Amino acid sequence: MLDTVVIPLVMFLIFPGVAFLLAMAFFLEWIDRKTVARIQRRYGPLHTGPSGILQPFADFLKLLQKEDIIPTGVDKKVFILAPILISALPLTALFLIPFAGPSALVWFEGDLFLIMFIFTLIVLVVFLAGYCTTSRFSVIGSSRAALQMLGYEIPMGLAMIGPALLAGSLSISGIGQWQMDNGIWTVLLQPLGFAILVTCMLAELEFVPFDIPEAETEIVGGWRTEYGGRKLALLKLGHDLELVLASALITALYLGGAQQIWIIPSIFVFLAKMLLVTLLFSLLRAVFARMSIAQMLSGMWKYMVPLAIIQILLIQLGIGG
Amino acid sequence: MGILKWSRSKSPWLIHFNTGGCNGCDIELLAALTPKYDVERFGIVLEGSPRHADVMAVTGPVTRQVRKRLRRIYDQMPEPKFVVAIGSCALTGAPFGDCYNVLGGTEKQIPVDVYVPGCPPRPEAIIDGIAKLLGKMESSDDDDGE
Ligand code: SF4
């Protein structure tokens, strides 16, 4: 009873399951906002809890208690379903990440493809979420999101395949295990792939310089324009979970995963690496300005796709492989 | 103070609406949002869409043409919502009060919670006004805002 029901239940609901992931989502948003603020010589959130650490939680709670408006003219079913999907999809994908120890809660040979598929599915839901509101700002925002995906999806996939070729495994846990066994981080062998994956994740997260789908100065709130109250809360939660997913995935694929260093438990090592990746995202977000959609697409196809192919070629030639 | 009220007073998101002012107040409001004053310390974020916002910062006198739009944007905001009138124009219409196309201050069209006088008010005064609003939110008894 204890082994078959209670322990798996605790693992799924508390650690490293839902409760832990939600806490991580709020924590990483706080880190991100604080870092950007410090780079802009500001303090960022300060008075909500110690150093403002409860700010994302306060935002979430406030949004939950607001009036729930369904504008006339929206497609109700999609409008209600989309926020739920947007927060549930990254959460599902996070179960595949090996946070503590060599293997994740759920893992099988080929879960790398499932993650890629979920990333694509998120963008598809984003597109529907904007499109179903029929507001002109949302429609422009969501079509930009879909267009942007055409740019970064292929290099992102290729950059994820690099470590898989190296480790000879199509599972994220397997790739992490390989890095632990050989005592080397993939990033040292394939720095190009790492750079490409970070860039594409910025686009997936809609961070500056790729915040084109929600460009606040051009199209109000982008595809989120018509969402308010608890739907917006779920959208924001989904975005935070995506941030956790992106940093955890990069950690697992490129930065050695949950290895044990000296006597520090592997979970803390993993979290420290995730924090580093988040800091990298925030730094890039703070120092760049937004690109136009045409620049972004042509840049991706002219530079990122060839570079990603070169990376795969290098691995095939035995360099970094 | 309950946790719901706490969260509300810790995360007021602004939407800025100019109803026909001379732009002086808008420049001061934007200055208040720059890194120099850093209102994100209080959790204040400028939002583009009225659906995301809690607090509407109105500047300028209400003109005949903008009256309907002001009302519509106010209606688009989800409850509980608050309004801050910034600048003498938004209070009474001030120098433009007697113009043929001006209907006067904001309070004649939508309920206003906090008034910030000045032509234009300094960024410090605007932040002080919003801080007063937060104090009002914390001390209000009813749980659905104003
Ligand atoms: S209060 Fe003064 S500065 Fe502000 S809009 Fe009116 S005239 Fe311009």
Displacement of CA A120 from its chain's centroid (Å): 12
Can you give the pTM of this predicted structure?
Answer: 0.89
Spell B65-87 as b/e; 16+ CB within 10 A means b: ebbeebeebbebbbebbbbbbbb
Q: What is the model's pLDDT at position B4? A: 81
pLDDT digits (tens, 9 = 90+) for A289-310: 888 888 888 888 999 899 999 9
pLDDT digits (tens, 9 = 90+) for A107-121: 778 888 898 899 989
Chain A positions in Cβ-Cβ contact with residue B48 (cut-off 8 Å): 216-217, 220-221, 225
Q: Sorting pLDDT into bands at 50, 70 and 90, what band is A66?
A: confident
Q: Which residues of B lie closer than 8 Å to A, measured between beta carbons?
A: 3-4, 6-8, 10-11, 35, 38, 40-43, 47-49, 51-52, 54, 76-80
pLDDT above 70 covers what percent of chain A? Answer: 97
Helical H segments across chain A, by residue range: 7-13, 18-39, 55-64, 76-94, 111-131, 136-167, 172-182, 186-189, 191-204, 216-219, 229-254, 266-287, 293-299, 305-316
Among A166-175, A301-310, B65-74, which is the least confidently predicted range? A166-175
Mean pLDDT of B65-79: 89
pLDDT digits (tens, 9 = 90+) for A240-260: 999 999 998 998 888 887 777
Q: What is the model's pLDDT at position A105? A: 75
Q: How many CB atoms lie within 10 A of CB B30?
A: 12
Q: What is the model's pLDDT at position B145? A: 44
Specify whether the CB–CB gap between B45 and B63 falls below 8 A: no
Mutate one of B3, B11, B79, B138 to test the A interface: name it (highest A CB count within 10 A): B11
Is the predicted pLDDT of residue A168 greater than 70, yes or no? yes
pLDDT digits (tens, 9 = 90+) for B128-138: 998 888 888 87
Q: What is the model's pLDDT at position A321? A: 62
A220: contact with B, CB 8 A cutoff: yes
Q: How far is ligand 1, taken at its centre, from the CA of residue B12, in Å?
A: 24
Mean pLDDT of B6-13: 85
Q: What is the model's pLDDT at position B33? A: 86
Mean pLDDT of B107-128: 89
Say if residue B80 is preceded by a cis peptide, omega within 30 of 0. Answer: yes
Is the predicted pLDDT of residue A104 greater than 80, yes or no? no
Is the predicted pLDDT of residue A100 greater than 80, yes or no? no
DSSP A228: -
Q: What is the model's pLDDT at position A256? A: 80
Q: How far is ligand 1, taken at its centre, from the CA of residue B18, in Å?
A: 10
Q: What is the model's pLDDT at position A45? A: 87
A13: contact with B, CB 8 A cutoff: no
Q: How many CB atoms lie within 10 A of CB A235?
A: 21
pLDDT digits (tens, 9 = 90+) for B35-56: 888 888 888 888 888 888 889 9
Is the predicted pLDDT of residue B146 greater than 50, yes or no? no
What is the pairing mode between strands B82-86 and B45-46? unpaired
Domains with residue ranges and CATH for chain B:
24-138 (3.40.50.12280)
Q: How confident is the prediction for chain A on average, in pLDDT?
A: 85
